[in-house]
Amino acid sequence: MIRLRPALSFLLISFALLYSANAQIAVGRPAPASAPTGITGNDGGVLVLDANGNAAVRYSVSHPVALAQCEQFFRTHPRIAPVPVFDTAGAVPLALEDAEGATAAVASRAAARLYGGSVLQEHLQDHPENFTRFVLVGTNPAASDTGQPTKTMIALRLGNMPGALWSALEPFAKDGINLTKIESRPVAGRPFEYAFILEFQNDRPDADVTPVLRELERRTRWMRVVGTFPTRAA
């Protein structure tokens, strides 16, 4: 299971590029969960932890994404300086190493329990609907409910020419398919050539998108269906 961040979207592209055309790379059901970014669905917010269970905090460490999701908190608490570190859950033991209790971590309640931190304050996030999306990546695609709306993730590469991206996206517009995500990453060793991750909605469960994908493959240098999954977790 991996988080869908830009760097990990690039990891999915790398998986797709490395495996042969006959290999199966399956992206399964995505789910909002108690995320390592500290945004939790059940607890409804972000938690601040420190070593001694007090509020004498001058620094708050966490992943840059988690800190960015709490901008309003830091604006209203200017004495607490946000300090970015590599990992959100891993920020908790870093905070606990501060014997003076001046360092806290923006993390999840699960991380607090795991490392023995104390909860100082909840609901730090700017927007309560913040979630981090996870997907399961495996070699055997799981069957999905054919009556449920889904999303499909694809990876593709384009040539370095004017209109290449427009040409690749045009079949979706012509068929009335809604694109919900597009990310680009440079291809290593190929200057000015880019790989893309796209997601599109399948609002009509009985609709056949095969002709659109065939046309897309014709207009790109390389195209791969990464996976199809329900739009909502059961």
Q: Cα(51)–Cα(98) distance, rounded to whole angstroms?
A: 7
Band of the pLDDT at 85, cuts 50, 70, 90? very high
Question: What's residue 225's pLDDT?
Answer: 87
Q: Cα(185)–Cα(196) distance, rounded to whole angstroms?
A: 6
Q: What DSSP string runs through 129-180? A: T--EEEE-EESSPPP--TTS-EEEEEEEEE-SSTTHHHHHHHHHHHTTPPEE
Question: What's residue 229's pLDDT?
Answer: 78
Neighbouring residues of 221: CB distance < 8 A, sequence distance ≥ 6: 156, 157, 158, 159
Please state whether beta strands 179-186 and 194-202 pair in parallel, antiparallel, or not at all (unpaired).
Answer: antiparallel
Question: What's residue 12's pLDDT?
Answer: 54
Q: Cα(28)–Cα(230) distance, rounded to whole angstroms?
A: 8
Band of the pLDDT at 135, cuts 50, 70, 90? low
Q: Cα(31)–Cα(23) distance, rounded to whole angstroms?
A: 25
Question: What's residue 133's pLDDT?
Answer: 67
Which two tokens mark 27?
């992206």
Unique residue bearing structure tokens 């970015």: 84
Q: Do 101 and 50 contact (CB within 8 A), yes or no?
A: yes
Q: What residues are labeled active site?
A: 132, 134
Q: What DSSP string runs through 8-68? A: HHHHHHHHHHHS-TTS--EE---EEES-TTS--TTT-S-EEEESSS-S--SEEEE-HHHHH
Per-domain residue ranges for the chain?
2-33+134-230, 47-121
Band of the pLDDT at 103, cuts 50, 70, 90? confident
Band of the pLDDT at 108, cuts 50, 70, 90? confident
Instruction: Report domain 2-33+134-230's class.
Output: alpha beta
Question: What's residue 230's pLDDT?
Answer: 77
Which two tokens mark 105?
């971590």
Q: What DSSP string runs through 95-133? A: HHT-TTS-EEEEE-HHHHHHHT-EEEE---SS-TT--EE
Question: What's residue 144's pLDDT?
Answer: 60
The answer to whether residue 224 scores a pLDDT higher than 70 is yes
First vs last Cα of the chain: how many Å apart? 17
Instruction: Report domain 47-121's class.
Output: alpha beta
Q: Looking at per-residue confidence, does 13 or 135 come out higher?
A: 135
Which two tokens mark 219?
């207009």
The answer to whether residue 104 scores a pLDDT higher than 50 is yes
Across 165-173, average pLDDT: 93
Band of the pLDDT at 215, cuts 50, 70, 90? very high
Query: Which helix (DSSP H) or strand (DSSP E) does residue 219 occupy?
Result: helix 210-219
Q: What is the mean pLDDT of the chain?
A: 74
